Structure 1
Amino acid sequence: MEFRISKRVANGDLTATRIKERLQHTRLPADPSRVDPELDGRDWPRVIQDRFAGALQPSAVLIPIVERREGLTVLLTERAAHLKHHPGQISFPGGRMEQSDRDLQETALRETQEEIGVGPEHVSVAGYLAPLPTVSGYAVTPIVGLMDANVVLQIDQREVAAAFEVPLAFLLDSANQEHSSRRYEGIEIPVIAYYYQARKIWGATAVMIAELQKKLLLK
């Protein structure tokens, strides 16, 4: 399948340093259980918006960006096929906030170490995206981090089937987004998807990528 690469990113306009600059004023949410559906960028049905208005389960994911010789990449994982929730789907390492976590950043880094064996010492946090709602009742805060390119992954096969990298330039090119909808509990839900090397990246993960694009490519 043919795909486009963002010329702006491919030409080196967006570097690890520039990413830090773009995100330097971002902060963790004051209330990790609340979201603003309008920030999601999707036209949610009213019944779903009402569901988002209440308190949701706080959670966080890490968006790991890796600086390779050929350019920046984003690390994603494929969830294990036997998992009860979202088996086989593409996601970022992360999960729900535990009582022992000081904040959502610690949640994302803890889950990353548990899932793919990358400790906090191998990640430099660059910034944060606004919490995004999921139809399953979570408020997910994405933590953007620059990950050590030399770290060796130690994948927990109980949770993760595989990990792979996608060029950041590919993910930041709007031409590689596909927009559609799917039915959930009898309601049409807007869906964003990316297709990369036979893998479908969709759902909340795709929305996070779209939000990252807005942050990094602002003029």
Structure 2
Amino acid sequence: MTLAERLRTALKEGHEREVGLMLSDTRDPRIEGDLILAPAAVLVAITDRPEPGLILTQRSAKLRKHAGQVAFPGGRIDDDDSDEIAGALREAQEEIGLIPDMVDIIGTSDRYHTFTGFDIVPVLGVIPPDLPLFPQETEVAELFELPLSFALNPVNRIRKSMIFQGTERHYYEIFWEGRRIWGITAAILANLSRRLGHDQPA
């Protein structure tokens, strides 16, 4: 069975079972009440190698939102995009030069609502290893590959808390080779870990 087939089966089974996601796992803990959200999508690009990896970006420090953070390629869905998958593929091509035809789409994972007003759909796809990817300098400072097994292992995920406007809020952090992966990206990885059967929520 290929990597794509294994992931497709695991994701399907994950969506068929109750994994008990907490509200903070799918919604930025700073959101209170109703918030108008713009549709967005990110591409969770998994490299097809014996030890699969995840393609992640370090966002430019000059960006207005989520500057300097580790993120999946992605962004707002345009009117010309037919759906979330099309939007994620277009954004990945713009940000890291990933040709859409090189992506074997697996499916989608749990949505995440951001404090900055986006309804993000994570789109999973398998890509060949060692593609000649390159960052789009106005948005992406650099890109790197994180081992998938490390990213999905619950041992490597820390649940932290902060006080925001007098209320305790929770979020996740993952540290790898000096990089801090947190917020939206870490929450998407936590949800994906559960959907793929790597752990159960506390």
Q: Of the candidates 16, 27, 41, which is equivalent to residue 4 of structure 2?
A: 16
Greater CA drift, 185-194 or 110-119: 185-194
* Secondary structure of the corresponding residue to residue 109 of structure 1: helix
Structure 1 alignment gaps of length 5 or more: 1-12, 28-36
Structure 1 residue 67: Cα displacement: 1.7
1:105-152 per-position Cα deviation (integer Å, ceiling 9, x unaligned): 111000000000001111111010121111111110000010121421
Q: Which residue of 2 aligns with 1:3?
A: none
Q: Is the 8 A contact 1:122 1:151 kept in 2?
A: no
Structure 1 residue 43: Cα displacement: 8.9
The number of equivalent residue pairs is 194
Structure 1 residue 179: Cα displacement: 1.0
Q: Is the 8 A contact 1:72 1:167 kept in 2?
A: yes
**CA–CA separation in structure 1 for the residues paired with 2:155 and 2:13:** 28
* Aligned-pair Cα RMSD in Å: 2.7
Q: Is the 8 A contact 2:134 2:143 kept in 1?
A: no
Compared CA separation, residues 181 and 17, structure 1 to 2 (3 A): same
Compared CA separation, residues 104 and 140, structure 1 to 2 (3 A): same
Give the TM-score taking structure 2 as reference length.
0.85
Amino acid at match of 1:48: I
Q: Of the candidates 45, 50, 71, which is equivalent to residue 64 of structure 1?
A: 45
Q: Which residue of 2 aligns with 1:158?
A: 138
Amino acid at match of 1:62: L
Greater CA drift, 185-194 or 136-145: 185-194
Percent identity of paired positions between Structure 1 and Structure 2 = 35
Greater CA drift, 166-175 or 15-24: 15-24
Structure 2 alignment gaps of length 5 or more: 16-20
Q: Of the candidates 33, 42, 48, which is equivalent to residue 31 of structure 2?
A: 48
Q: Of the candidates 145, 152, 157, which is equivalent to residue 177 of structure 1?
A: 157
Q: Is the 8 A contact 1:39 1:130 kept in 2?
A: no
Compared CA separation, residues 121 and 43, structure 1 to 2 (3 A): closer
Compared CA separation, residues 43 and 119, structure 1 to 2 (3 A): closer
Compared CA separation, residues 42 and 61, structure 1 to 2 (3 A): closer
Q: Which residue of 1 aligns with 2:71?
A: 91
